[in-house]
Amino acid sequence: MDLTLQGSLLDLTDEMSLRHLGTATRRHHLTRGAWVDVRPDWLSAGDELFTALLHDVPWHAERRQMYDSVVDVPRLTKFYAAGERLPHPMLTTAREALSAHYADELGEPFVTAGLCLYRDGRDSVAWHGDRIGRSRDSDTMIAILSLGSSRTLTLRPRDGGTIEGTSQKTLRFPLGHGDLVVMGGSCQRTWDHAVPKTSEAVGPRISVQFRVSGVR
Ligand SMILES: O=C(O)CCC(=O)C(=O)O
Ligand SMILES: [Fe+2]
């Protein structure tokens, strides 16, 4: 057996890379002009990226005013503004690939990166829409690369209605290591999303959200 060849083949398959977006990206049309694209396993062999981000990103613990008390935000965050160097070259490659893939539909590039670290199942993000800035009254896209432990992104219509054709109130998109999800159309205005807490024993998850200029 040629061990050299076998070694190099293994190296090739283990190399971190982004797979194609085209045919493997599935669009889910929601009501009210919203949609969600899902591309499972977009990033292959992403362990290196996950570990690098976990250790190298200067994660912030935020505290927020909630009625008359100040509470810990149940996740760590770091925001990279337009033009700021991202903490790993693969994130730049991912952002460029997304900008190219969605160029015609979006009409502008993804420029910012918001990172969230969910340390375990107690970390979460409550129901909200990303409605700070232009997304408040116009369509936009938020592209999310999920790394590490699987967590569920849930979506529900903002008007409190049920999911069309069902008696359900929420849609669930389980997000695993390397998966991509893109929320588009009116999604930030007409739907809310959340990452609920879970009692399951889950390890850390990092979410990387790419947005266009002037949207948070
Ligand atoms: O964890 C996620 O993927 C979603 C995060 C999110 O909705 C946000 O930061 O606005
Ligand atoms: Fe969000």
Give per-residue pLDDT as tens, 184-193: 999 999 999 9
**CA terminus-to-terminus distance, the chain:** 55
193 CA distance to ligand 2 middle (Å):
6
- Look at residues 186, 163, 77, 69 and name the one whose alpha carbon lies nearest to residue 125: 77
Q: Establish whether residue 36 lines the binding site of ligand 1, counting it when its CB lies within 6 angstroms of any ligand atom.
A: no
Q: What's the pLDDT score for residue 164? A: 84
Q: What is the ipTM of this complex?
A: 0.99
51 CA distance to ligand 2 middle (Å):
23
Q: What's the pLDDT score for residue 12? A: 55
Cα(201)–Cα(122) distance, integer angstroms: 10
Read off the tokens for 83: 């033009």
| CATH class of this structure's domain 27-211 | mainly beta
Q: What's the pLDDT score for residue 9? A: 52
Q: Establish whether residue 125 lines the binding site of ligand 1, counting it when its CB lies within 6 angstroms of any ligand atom.
A: yes
For residues 102 and 182, is the Cβ–Cβ distance under 8 A? Answer: yes
Q: What's the pLDDT score for residue 1? A: 43
Residues of the chain under the 50 pLDDT cut: 1-5, 7-8, 10-11
Domain spans of the chain, in order of start: 27-211
The pTM assigned to this predicted structure is: 0.92
Q: Establish whether residue 130 lines the binding site of ligand 1, counting it when its CB lies within 6 angstroms of any ligand atom.
A: yes
Ligand nearest to the CA of 150: 1
